[in-house]
Amino acid sequence: MGNLLIFPVTDDCEFLLVNEKGQGSNDGDCATFLATSEKFSEKFGQAVDRLPFIHEDDFLTELQKYLHKNKIKRVFSPVLAVHRFLERASADMLIDVKMATESPLDQQATRYKNLIRKSIKVRQVLDGLGLDAGLAPMELAALIQYVSGIYGESSLEKIGALIGVCASGVKGDVLEIGSLVGKSASVLSYMSARMSVGNFLSIDPWNETAAVQKDSPELVQDLSRGLDYDMLHSLFIVNLMLTNRGHSNYFRRTSEEAFLCYKPSWEVSSLELGKTTYTGQASIIHIDGNHDYEHVRFDIENWGGKLAPGGWIIIDDYLWSHGCGPKVAGDEYLRANLESIEMAFVADKSLFLRFR
């Protein structure tokens, strides 16, 4: 790959350095050098070399010397004008380096094209289900962009279906059991306010004891141990902040504990999101907590009883590779409630049920 130059170094570059080796390091076959045309000489605890500004007469000569001396073969430039200048100089063979990435604007263009593709896919999902997003194209794209930046396993297909469900939701509380860092929660939170469905509540204990799924293979159980659940909880709050319109909150307890408290005019308070009042009747319930059969059955049967007429229940991982709790509990529920179910479909791996 060859040594890398980051020029001009900006604040954002700090995060790039995580995966690169330190300046001048001979560890392995690649070292990272930082340079700037500004005055500072140290950034992120590392020395920063000086090069002239690109408009100065000696820039190319000084750059050539610097690249040669440090055996630099790749340049990363976060500044559009500098990137273009260096790209041209490389094409004209004035410098023997490759640009490490496409230009900042080309990266944005790629991101935008991907976003449009994602939006089209979501629209297709909604059309296929006979649901409407209730959002104009740019607003839908903005929501997809926001949600795409949040870790989680919900696919675009599921996100699309959740958007459609909210757009067709009757009035009532929008509840999620199991939020992790808030991917599906941010869709439910945004859409519940946007469509005036009701207040949003996330129920999740964010602790290891509850998270372990004993029906899953030992290896899968082990992977949920040793995670920093306080950090996941904090990240969840950060991710929910911008979708909150004073209507969202969280209850850091298990579904079983939350169920004991859920009633009309229930007030939930948190330091970060203040006080939110719930009606005690749910419009949408997204069940994505512990996937062991007993837990899913508890969630569906008990929370299901709180659903308003016309409400939706979504059972995550109904089709799941690591266990059959959601499928068995979901099928039992389906069979027992066939008469009252108006619509049922599977989007990606989740079962969506709309009640009459």
Binding site residues, ligand SAM, CB under 6 A: 152-154, 177-180, 183-184, 203-206, 210-211, 254-255, 288-290, 295
**CB of 279 vs ligand SAM, minimal distance in Å:** 20
Return d(Cα 207, Cα 289) in angstroms, integer.
12
**Nearest-angstrom CA–CA distance, 69 and 63:** 10
Q: How far is the CB of 351 from ligand SAM (least distance, A)?
A: 15
* Strand-by-strand arrangement of the 307-315 sheet: 248-251, 200-203, 173-177, 282-287, 307-315, 350-355, 341-347
Give the nearest distance from C-beta 304 to ligand SAM in angstroms. Answer: 15
- Burial class of 63 by CB neighbour count within 10 A (0 to 12, 13 to 18, 19+): buried
Smaller CB distance to ligand SAM: residue 45 or 305?
305
Q: Given the complex with ligand SAM, which of 77 and 248 has the nearer CB atom?
A: 248
Q: H helices of the chain, where?
A: 13-16, 59-69, 80-91, 104-129, 137-148, 156-167, 183-194, 208-211, 218-223, 229-241, 255-261, 293-298, 304, 325-336
What is the DSSP track for 143-170?
HHHHHHTS--S--HHHHHHHHHHHHTPP
* CA 329 vs CA 291, 296, 316, 320, 342: distances in Å: 10, 6, 11, 13, 19
Q: Which is nearer to ligand SAM, 183 or 354 (CB)?
A: 183
How far apart (Å, rounded) are the C-alpha atoms in residues 46 and 36?
Answer: 12
Measuring CA to CA, which residue among 321, 324, 204, 317 is closest to residue 254? Answer: 204
CB of 221 to ligand SAM, least distance (A): 12
> Would you say 83 or 183 has its CB closer to ligand SAM?
183
For ligand SAM, the closer of residues 168 and 179 by Cβ is 179
Closest CB 177 distance from ligand SAM, rounded Å? 5
Angle at 178 between CA 293 and CA 307, to 5 degrees: 80
CA 194/CA 142 separation, integer angstroms: 13
104 - beta bridge partners?
none
Amino acid, single-letter form, for residue 229: Y
Which C-beta is closer to ligand SAM: that of 273 or that of 314? 314
Helix (H, G, I), strand (E, B) or coil at 28: coil
Which CB sits closer to ligand SAM, 157 or 204? 204
CB of 162 to ligand SAM, least distance (A): 9
Minimum CB separation of residue 12 from ligand SAM in Å reads: 26
Give bridge partners of residue 240 from the DSSP assignment. none
Q: How far is the CB of 202 from ligand SAM (least distance, A)?
A: 9
Please, which residue, 8 or 152, has the CB nearer to ligand SAM? Answer: 152
Least separation in angstroms between CB 123 and ligand SAM: 21
